[in-house]
A and B are shown apart, each in its own frame.
Chain A
Amino acid sequence: MKSKLILLLVLALPITIFSQGAYKKPPKEIMDVLDAPASPTTTVSPGRDKIAILEPLRYPPIAELAQLMLRLAGLRINPNTNGQHRQSYFVSMKLKNIADGREIAVPAATATELL
Chain B
Amino acid sequence: MTANLPAHSDIFRAGIARSGAYNRTLTPFGFQSERRSFWEAPELYAKVSPFYYADKINEPILLIHGEADNNQGTFPMQSERLFAAISGNGGKSRLVILPLEAHGYSAKESVEHTLFEMIQWFDKYVKNAKPRGAQQPVAQ
Counting chain A CB atoms within 10 Å of each CB, the highest count among B107, B108, B110, B115 belongs to B108
Select from chain B the residue with minimum beta-carbon distance to A33: B115
B residues sitting closer than 8 Å to A (CB atoms) are: 99-101, 106-113, 115-117, 119
User: In the complex, A31 Cα to B106 Cα: how many Å?
Assistant: 15
Select from chain A the residue with minimum beta-carbon distance to B110: A62
Give every chain A residue within 8 A of B99 (Cβ-Cβ).
62, 66
Give every chain B residue within 8 A of A59 (Cβ-Cβ).
106-108, 111
A residues sitting closer than 8 Å to B (CB atoms) are: 23-27, 30-31, 34, 58-62, 64-66
Docked-complex contact A26 and B116, CB < 8 angstroms:
yes
User: In the complex, A27 Cα to B115 Cα: how many Å?
Assistant: 9
Docked-complex contact B119 and A26, CB < 8 angstroms:
yes
User: In the complex, A15 Cα to B116 Cα: how many Å?
Assistant: 19
CB B101 to nearest CB in A, in angstroms, measures: 7
Select from chain A the residue with minimum beta-carbon distance to B105: A59
Docked-complex contact A24 and B112, CB < 8 angstroms:
yes
